[in-house]
């Protein structure tokens, strides 16, 4: 391959500035894209980002999970002389990236603490022999003088800071080791630096640029929206039953269930296994060997369901995760965007469910008190709670949070826009009844009470606690006797989320806010949704089934399953994640086209030259055998 030498990088753009030269250069880029990745075209923002790197123009690129940000720096690394250094935070993520590149015929390696001494020496020897194009290292490794000297001894093309949001105190995953990466510009002044992340608010974007000290940087900010994801948010009432209902809709599909604490993971995992839902737990409390085994089994498709804390996911690149369930609320919109981003990385339709409750808010509030950035994190937590409790277009709210406009009238991909949320016809009256009850309890010189007591009063239940405090004498006693306790609790949570009620941090007692007083006066209206009833559940379930059939129209599902099994067996033999061999999008294409020659197989999405040679015969045999039997 003809490389663009380091001293010509700055001249690259002027060389290709004429339309004819640019067209020729683009042909070369597209040729590399097809040869190694097997793609015919780029996703939004990929081509612009690639040209920035080839021009020697430093940039911050924000592409959502599944947007293909890795290709943006991997492809230009093949066209430029020298080694591209990729700073990545997780060993498992490095390994998967390197395995995937090597499987495509691209020379890549990583240097991290998981390597044995002989393996490290081998990587360094290959670097010095100029046999590696991409080297993945952790940010901590740049603290060592031996690493600095080694990098200075070889020609470098550029640096990439992946997961760059980790630099910012304002981000959701701050790491001290990332904060020191500004040293790259000082230590390697002639080498360009490019930052990449999937999630960054405007504050975080600015912090990244300032901390890295990028020179006249461009900003490539793609839409944060993931239109292939359908979001659904619901109060957690009967968790096991709710999760079982979701799992029934996703038989033989890969998914992650996120829990808030380790104990929650162990309990839910055991319960689901006892009910016949085969899964593995994952959290930081497991020993290293168990964690690695569980992660590898999921990556190799030996198991399709993982129950985990947020310690799981960032290092997983499995592209065919079809659903993510949050059994509890995460701590910020950034975390929610990143964790739901594990689903549908291949661009195929996928689903994200969240079960939330007031206890989640209190638990996070307690845990965040240890953070030096408590005020910032509490504000983020409150925004997410409002996202849960207030019915609205989920895609629009996510886009707006990341300072992006959402111009569509509706997304057709969330519970609200799909009409799965039934709105309360008289929200002001319902809100006033509940707020009035809270106000009267407080006015009675009582110490304040939580949501359970307030719901009991409104329902008209003569419990011992209500009788003890003479709450049956209140004018609000029994004024909502025609609805269930769970209905009232559902309304209370929405009023808290929308800022009309506040919950005491220590005792969980309720009190009115200034905004709540305005509701009592009729100056402000809450937005309230009803809990879903059984008949609506059935109707919605049928709609989802119809939509899924439409999404997979033309795909021979029996053949698709056989292709999945072959992919899994190949991955197991080679001890690789299954998606390294082919993603579901490629298998879906095979199940539609049903190629029986190598020429036909070469037209399948994601089939480059290396994969054509390695896998065409194997998968064509599966297809021809299937056609012969049918």
CB crowding 129-164: b at 16 or more within 10 Å, else e: eeebbbbbbbbbbbeeeebbebbeebebbbbbbbbb
- On whether the CB atoms of residues 189 and 156 are closer than 8 A, the answer is no
N- to C-terminal Cα separation, the chain: 45
- Among candidate residues 221, 253, 279, the one where a domain is terminated: 221
Instruction: Count how many residues are written for the chain.
Output: 630
How far is Cα 406 from Cα 180, in angstroms, rounded to an integer?
Answer: 35
Q: Is residue 79 domain-resident?
A: yes
Residues 441 and 573 in one domain: no
The CATH number of the domain holding residue 620 is: 1.10.150.80
Residue 497: the pLDDT is 81
Name residue 218's beta-bridge partners: 59
Nearest to 152 by CA among 121, 112, 187: 187
Three-state DSSP class for residue 97: helix
Residues 304 and 392 in one domain: yes
- Among candidate residues 491, 520, 549, the one where a domain is terminated: 520
Residues 255 and 217 in one domain: no
- On whether the CB atoms of residues 110 and 95 are closer than 8 A, the answer is yes
Q: Is residue 616 domain-resident?
A: yes
Nearest to 577 by CA among 284, 285, 345: 345
Residues 243 and 217 in one domain: no
Q: Is residue 1 domain-resident?
A: no
- On whether the CB atoms of residues 112 and 141 are closer than 8 A, the answer is yes
How far is Cα 94 from Cα 87, in angstroms, rounded to an integer?
Answer: 9
Q: Is residue 358 domain-resident?
A: yes
- On whether the CB atoms of residues 305 and 277 are closer than 8 A, the answer is yes
Neighbours of 473 (CB within 10 A): 11
Tell me if the pTM is above 0.85: no
Enumerate residues 6+ apart whose C-beta is below 8 A from 461: 485
How far is Cα 468 from Cα 169, in angstroms, rounded to an integer?
Answer: 49
Q: Which residue has tokens 């579901």?
A: 584
Strands (E), 485-535: 501-503, 510-512
Residue 185: the pLDDT is 93
Question: How many helices (DSSP H) and strands (DSSP E) are in the chain?
Answer: 28, 15
Helices 19-32 and 69-79, interaxial angle, to 10°?
110
Q: Is residue 542 domain-resident?
A: no
How far is Cα 350 from Cα 308, in angstroms, rounded to an integer?
Answer: 19
Give how far Cα 479 sits from Cα of 433, 453, 488, Å. 8, 14, 11
Listed as own residue / partner, the contacts of 140-149 with beta carbons closer than 8 Å and 24 or more positions apart are 140/177, 141/111, 141/112, 142/87, 142/180, 142/181, 142/183, 142/184, 143/177, 143/180, 147/111, 148/187
Residues 396 and 432 in one domain: no
Neighbours of 581 (CB within 10 A): 23
Residues 620 and 582 in one domain: yes
- On whether the CB atoms of residues 357 and 235 are closer than 8 A, the answer is yes
Residue 504: the pLDDT is 84
Residues 43 and 163 in one domain: yes
Residue 603: the pLDDT is 94
According to DSSP, the β-strands at 305-308 and 501-503 are unpaired
Give how far Cα 135 sits from Cα of 30, 72, 154, 391, 411, Å. 23, 15, 12, 46, 40
Q: Which helix (H) or strand (E) holds 220?
A: strand 218-221
The CATH number of the domain holding residue 304 is: 3.40.50.300
Q: Is residue 551 domain-resident?
A: no
According to DSSP, the β-strands at 350-356 and 305-308 are unpaired
Extract the tokens encoding 200: 């960054």
Instruction: Determine the structural domain holding residue 577 and report its residue range.
Output: 557-629
Q: What is the mean pLDDT of each run of 10 residues along the chain (630 residues)?
A: 45 46 78 93 91 92 88 95 92 85 94 86 92 94 91 95 85 76 93 92 90 92 93 89 94 93 94 96 88 87 91 67 95 91 90 90 85 85 89 93 90 90 89 95 80 94 93 94 92 88 85 92 88 62 68 86 93 87 92 94 93 95 93
Q: Is residue 54 domain-resident?
A: yes
Q: Is residue 411 domain-resident?
A: no
What are the DSSP calls for 15-79, one per residue? HT-SHHHHHHHHHHHHHHIIIII--SSPPTTHHHHHHHHHHT--EEEE--TTS-HHHHHHHHHHH
Residues 238 and 208 in one domain: no
Residues 25 and 134 in one domain: yes
Residues 257 and 134 in one domain: no
Structural domains in the chain (count): 4
- On whether the CB atoms of residues 79 and 105 are closer than 8 A, the answer is no
Residues 234 and 213 in one domain: no
Give how far Cα 586 sits from Cα of 31, 572, 580, Å. 19, 19, 11
Helices 333-340 and 374-389, interaxial angle, to 10°?
60
Residue 315: the pLDDT is 52
Q: Which residue has tokens 């290292």?
A: 137
Neighbours of 7 (CB within 10 A): 9
- On whether the CB atoms of residues 106 and 36 are closer than 8 A, the answer is yes
The CATH number of the domain holding residue 442 is: 1.10.10.10
How far is Cα 155 from Cα 514, in angstroms, rounded to an integer?
Answer: 63
Cα–chain center distance at 346: 13
Half-sphere exposure of 434 (CA within 13 A, CB side): 32
Residues 52 and 188 in one domain: yes
Three-state DSSP class for residue 243: helix
- Among candidate residues 189, 221, 253, the one where a domain is terminated: 221
Give how far Cα 105 sits from Cα of 120, 381, 398, 590, 614, Å. 21, 44, 38, 22, 11
């Amino acid at each position: 391959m003809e490389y663009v030498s380091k001293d010509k990088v700055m001249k690259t753009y002027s060389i290709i500035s004429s339309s004819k030269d640019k067209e020729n250069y683009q042909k070369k880029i597209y040729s590399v894209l097809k040869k190694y990745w097997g793609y015919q075209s780029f996703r939004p923002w990929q081509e612009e980002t690639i040209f920035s790197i080839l021009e020697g123009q430093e940039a911050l690129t924000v592409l959502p999970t599944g947007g293909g940000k890795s290709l943006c720096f991997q492809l230009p690394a093949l066209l430029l002389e020298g080694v591209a250094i990729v700073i990545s935070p997780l060993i498992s993520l490095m390994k998967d990236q390197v395995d995937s590149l090597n499987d495509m015929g691209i020379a890549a390696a990583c240097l991290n603490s998981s390597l044995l001494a002989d393996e490290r020496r081998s990587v360094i020897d290959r670097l010095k022999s100029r046999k590696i194009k991409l080297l993945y290292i952790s940010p901590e490794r740049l603290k060592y003088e031996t690493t600095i000297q080694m990098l200075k001894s070889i020609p470098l093309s550029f640096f990439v800071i992946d997961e760059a949001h980790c630099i910012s105190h304002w981000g959701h995953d701050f790491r001290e080791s990332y904060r020191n990466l500004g040293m790259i510009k000082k230590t390697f002044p002639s080498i360009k630096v490019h930052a990449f992340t999937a999630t960054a608010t405007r504050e975080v974007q600015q912090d990244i640029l300032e901390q890295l000290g990028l020179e006249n940087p461009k900003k490539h900010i793609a839409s944060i929206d993931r239109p292939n994801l359908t979001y659904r948010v619901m109060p957690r009432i009967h968790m096991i039953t709710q999760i079982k209902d979701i799992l029934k809709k996703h038989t033989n599909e890969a998914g992650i269930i996120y829990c808030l604490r380790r104990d929650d993971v162990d309990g839910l995992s055991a319960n689901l296994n006892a009910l016949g839902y085969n899964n593995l737990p994952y959290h930081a409390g497991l020993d290293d060997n168990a964690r690695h085994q569980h992660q590898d089994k999921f990556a190799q498709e030996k198991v399709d369901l993982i129950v985990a804390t947020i310690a799981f996911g960032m290092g997983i690149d499995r592209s065919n995760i079809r659903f993510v369930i949050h059994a509890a609320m995460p701590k910020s919109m950034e975390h929610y965007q990143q964790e739901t981003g594990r689903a549908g990385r291949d661009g195929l339709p996928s689903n994200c469910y969240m079960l939330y409750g007031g206890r989640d808010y209190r638990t996070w509030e307690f845990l965040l008190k240890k953070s030096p950035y408590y005020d910032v994190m509490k504000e983020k937590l409150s925004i997410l709670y409002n996202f849960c409790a207030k019915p609205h277009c989920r895609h629009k709210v996510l886009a707006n949070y990341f300072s992006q406009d959402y111009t569509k009238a509706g997304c057709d991909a969330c519970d609200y826009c799909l009409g799965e949320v039934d709105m309360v016809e008289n929200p002001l009256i319902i809100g006033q009844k509940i707020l009035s009850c809270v106000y009267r309890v407080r006015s009675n010189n009582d110490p304040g009470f939580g949501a359970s007591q307030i719901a009991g009063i409104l329902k008209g239940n003569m419990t011992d606690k209500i009788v003890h405090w003479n709450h049956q004498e209140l004018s609000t006693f029994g004024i909502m006797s025609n609805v269930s306790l769970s209905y009232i609790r559902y309304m209370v949570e929405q009023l808290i989320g929308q800022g009309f009620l506040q919950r005491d941090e220590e005792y969980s007692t309720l009190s009115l806010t200034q905004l709540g007083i305005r509701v009592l006066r009729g100056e402000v209206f809450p937005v309230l949704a009803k809990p879903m009833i059984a008949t609506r559940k059935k109707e919605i379930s049928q709609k989802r089934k119809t939509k899924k059939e439409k999404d997979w129209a033309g795909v021979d599902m029996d053949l698709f399953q056989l292709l999945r099994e072959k992919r899994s067996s190949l991955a197991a033999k080679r001890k690789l994640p299954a998606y390294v061999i082919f993603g579901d999008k490629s298998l879906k294409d095979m199940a539609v086209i049903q190629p029986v020659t190598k020429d036909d197989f070469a037209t399948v999405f994601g089939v480059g030259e290396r994969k054509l040679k390695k896998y065409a015969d194997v998968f064509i045999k599966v297809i021809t055998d299937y056609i012969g039997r049918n």
